[in-house]
């Protein structure tokens, strides 16, 4: 009976996940077709044994619930799309909890604990359902009625000013993300252009308020909010590409590490114990196969490949090196660390020389340094073979110091290039003689929500119109 009750609760919960009909309207009541399909799916998961026993196929149940969770998340994300300024915090919180429990469900399925996965999935379904319900109720409560001859409550001067101020804060947060991405070398010019347009519309809304044209102000604000929503959508796609690039870079780094360690062991094999060397190579081969599997998942469009999985692969490599004697393992790790820094340095130099023409000479400097450092690796290997631990440490210290210093130069070049090509600068004048104020968070005592970036930070008035940048 207990199993039947659990299944009944799960069935009710899956059926009651909010759906969106063809017109985009929310519907908490399932259609007959959806209901019958869910019932059929659940019945297929149960096989009766005798007249009084029920055996549940928890693996199939967990997989089915996982599918429902993915659909529930997609439904909420579609509803949230381009509506960031209108999403209540409670809805955001429920969505975040849903994502967390969805990931927990996925991990439990991967570990084979299907019964626990089914139980956790139930909570995730509730979170996504609540997020959608709260969002829809908020939208329905704040939706502007059809135009009449008189201004509505939402079009009063006070309400509009509050909405504009919130829009400025939101614009500032978007701009902070733009600054961060731009510092990484990404082309965010399209997002910046949209932020400029939003800024212009918000200034227009403020000017209309000053003239007493509340309805025109509301229209300008609505356009500004729509533009901000579009900016956020474009930002999300940029961030997605950024995350994918990080995973790809880390994956390439792990693969390079495996090749470097194999090469080092090959050069040292005459001075290493054969049995232990083979054990290390076996570990490296296993990790390499795992990383290749992650690469295939990423190539097929599965962006759920996490950095945690790659960090686990790195830990496996370090554990494998423990098969060697302590001093040799430490030396190989140190060489691998310097090599990894060199790879990052080279990637940074390539990026800055491609993006900023005035800094192409940075690439040449880095190439020369990398060449000298790699030559040192042969000398380090010879000292390891000879057992000169002190000489190895000195050489590694010099190599690491060279790479660190060069990396500082590259970072400084990136910072200078970013400042030279800043996209949005603080306004210098105002319309109608009004006083320009900085956006919250741009002052020295600003909040953490708005990290200070003098070269590209948007500066605006909270309550006064400003010239577009």
147 falls in which pLDDT band (50, 70, 90)?
Answer: very low
Question: What is the residue-averaged pLDDT of the chain?
Answer: 68
Question: Is residue 349's pLDDT more than 60?
Answer: yes
pLDDT tens-digit map of 204-242: 998 888 888 888 888 999 999 989 888 888 887 777 777
Q: 10 Å Cβ neighbour count for 82?
A: 16
Mean pLDDT to the nearest integer, 240-246: 73
190-196: long-range contacts at Cβ-Cβ below 8 A with a sequence spacing of 24 or more? 190/234, 191/231, 191/234, 191/235, 191/238, 192/423, 192/424, 194/227, 194/228, 194/230, 194/231, 194/234, 195/171, 195/228, 195/231, 195/424, 195/458, 196/424, 196/468, 196/469
Could you give the percent of the chain with pLDDT greater than 70? 63
Q: Answer whether residue 152 shows pLDDT above 60.
A: no
Task: Give the highest mean pLDDT range of 1-15, 154-168, 262-276.
Answer: 154-168
Q: With cut-offs at 50, 70 and 90, classify the pLDDT of residue 301.
A: low
pLDDT at 215: 86
Give me the pLDDT at residue 265, please.
76
**Confidence label for 428 from pLDDT (cuts 50, 70 and 90):** very low
Q: How confident is the model at residue 421 (pLDDT cuts 50, 70, 90)?
A: low
Burial of 139 (C-beta count, 10 Å sphere; 0-12/13-18/19+): middle
Cα 320 to Cα 345: distance, rounded to the nearest angstrom: 27
Mean pLDDT of all residues in 59-85 = 79
- Residue pair 349/363 in contact (Cβ under 8 Å)? The answer is yes
Per-residue tokens: 402 = 């060279």
Report pLDDT digits (tens) over 323-333.
Answer: 666 777 777 87
List, in sequence order, every residue forming a beta bridge with 55; answer none if it has no partner. Answer: 47
Out of 102-111, 178-187, 417-426, least confident range: 417-426
In the predicted structure, residue 47 carries a pLDDT above the cut 60? no
433: buried, middle or exposed (CB in 10 Å: 19+, 13-18, 0-12)? Answer: exposed
Predicted confidence (pLDDT) at residue 308 exceeds the cutoff of 50? yes
Position 412 pLDDT exceeds 50: yes
- Residue 450 pLDDT: 30
- The rounded distance, in Å, linking the Cα atoms of 136 and 263 is 59
Q: How much of the chain, in percent, has pLDDT values that exceed 90?
A: 1
Res 290 pLDDT > 50: yes
- Alpha carbon 79 to its chain's center: 20
pLDDT greater than 50 at residue 193: yes
Contact assessment for residue 403 and residue 429, using Cβ atoms and an 8 Å cutoff: no
* Lowest mean pLDDT, pick from 58-62, 350-354, 433-437: 433-437
Mean pLDDT (whole number) for 448-459: 33
Identify the weakest region by mean pLDDT among 44-48, 227-231, 327-331, 357-361: 44-48
Lowest pLDDT segment from 32-41, 178-187, 320-329: 32-41
Question: What is the phi/psi pair of residue 66, to 5°?
Answer: -60, -40
In the predicted model, what is the mean pLDDT of residues 88-109? 84
Interval 290-307 mean pLDDT: 66
Q: Which of 272-281, 302-311, 400-409 shows the lowest mean pLDDT across its residues? A: 302-311
Q: Indicate the pLDDT class of residue 307, thresholds 50, 70 and 90.
A: low
Distance (Å, whole) CA 83 – CA 335: 50
Q: What angle do CA 301, 305, 306 make, to 5 degrees?
A: 150
Is residue 301 left, alpha or beta, with left meaning phi > 0 and alpha meaning psi from -120 to 50? Answer: left
CB neighbour list of residue 401: distance below 8 Å, 6 or more residues apart: none
Can you tell me which residue has the tokens 């510092």? 183
Spatial CA neighbour of 98 closest among 71, 131, 65? 131
Buried b (16+ CB within 10 A) or exposed e, 11-47: bebbeebbbeeeeeebeeebeeeeeeebeebbeebee
| pLDDT score at 185 | 65
Model confidence at 455, pLDDT cuts 50, 70, 90, reads very low
Q: What is the mean pLDDT of residues 156-165?
A: 84
pLDDT for the residue numbered 83: 66
405 by Cβ neighbours in 10 Å (0-12 / 13-18 / 19+) ranks as exposed
pLDDT score, position 376: 81
Q: What is the mean pLDDT of residues 96-114?
A: 85
């Amino acid at each position: 009976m207990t199993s039947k009750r659990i299944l009944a609760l799960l069935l009710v919960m899956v059926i009651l996940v909010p759906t969106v009909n063809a017109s985009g309207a929310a519907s908490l009541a399932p259609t007959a077709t959806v209901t019958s399909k869910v019932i059929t799916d659940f019945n297929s998961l149960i096989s009766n044994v005798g007249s009084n026993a029920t055996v549940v196929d928890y693996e199939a149940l967990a997989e089915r619930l996982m599918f429902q969770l993915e659909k529930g998340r997609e439904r909420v994300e579609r509803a949230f799309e381009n509506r960031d300024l209108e999403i209540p915090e409670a809805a955001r919180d429920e969505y975040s909890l849903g994502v967390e429990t969805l990931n927990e469900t996925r991990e439990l399925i991967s570990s084979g604990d299907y019964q626990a996965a089914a139980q956790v999935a139930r909570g995730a379904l509730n979170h996504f359902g609540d997020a959608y319900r709260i969002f829809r109720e908020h939208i329905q409560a704040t939706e502007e009625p059809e135009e009449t001859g008189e201004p509505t409550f939402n079009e009063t001067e006070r309400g509009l000013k509050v909405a504009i101020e919130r829009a400025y804060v939101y614009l500032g947060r978007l701009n902070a993300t733009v600054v961060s991405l731009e510092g990484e070398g990404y082309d965010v010019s399209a997002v910046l252009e949209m932020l400029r347009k939003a800024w212009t519309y918000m200034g227009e809304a403020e000017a209309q308020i000053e003239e007493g044209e509340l309805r025109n102000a509301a229209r300008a604000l609505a356009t500004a909010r729509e533009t901000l929503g579009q900016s956020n959508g474009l930002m999300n796609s940029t961030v997605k590409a950024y995350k994918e690039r990080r995973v790809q870079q880390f994956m390439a780094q792990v693969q390079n590490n495996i090749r470097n360690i194999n090469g080092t062991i090959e050069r040292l094999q005459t001075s290493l114990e054969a049995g232990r060397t083979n054990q290390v190579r076996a570990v490296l081969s296993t990790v390499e196969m795992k990383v290749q599997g992650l690469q295939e998942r990423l190539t097929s469009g599965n962006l759920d490949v996490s950095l945690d999985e790659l960090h686990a692969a790195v830990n496996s490599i370090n554990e494998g090196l423990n098969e060697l004697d302590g001093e040799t393992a430490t030396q190989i790790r140190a060489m691998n660390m310097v090599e990894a820094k060199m790879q990052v340095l080279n990637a940074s130099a390539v990026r800055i020389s491609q993006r900023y023409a005035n800094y192409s000479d940075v690439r040449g400097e880095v190439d020369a340094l990398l060449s000298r450092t790699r030559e040192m690796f042969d000398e380090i290997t010879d000292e390891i073979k000879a057992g000169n631990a002190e000489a190895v440490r000195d050489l590694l210290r010099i190599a690491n110091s060279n790479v660190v210093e060069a990396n500082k130069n590259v970072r400084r070049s990136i910072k200078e290039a970013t400042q030279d090509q800043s996209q949005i600068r603080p306004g210098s004048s105002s319309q109608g003689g009004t006083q320009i104020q900085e956006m919250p968070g741009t002052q020295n005592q600003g909040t953490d929500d708005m990290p200070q970036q003098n070269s590209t930070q948007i500066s605006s008035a909270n309550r006064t119109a400003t010239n577009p940048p």
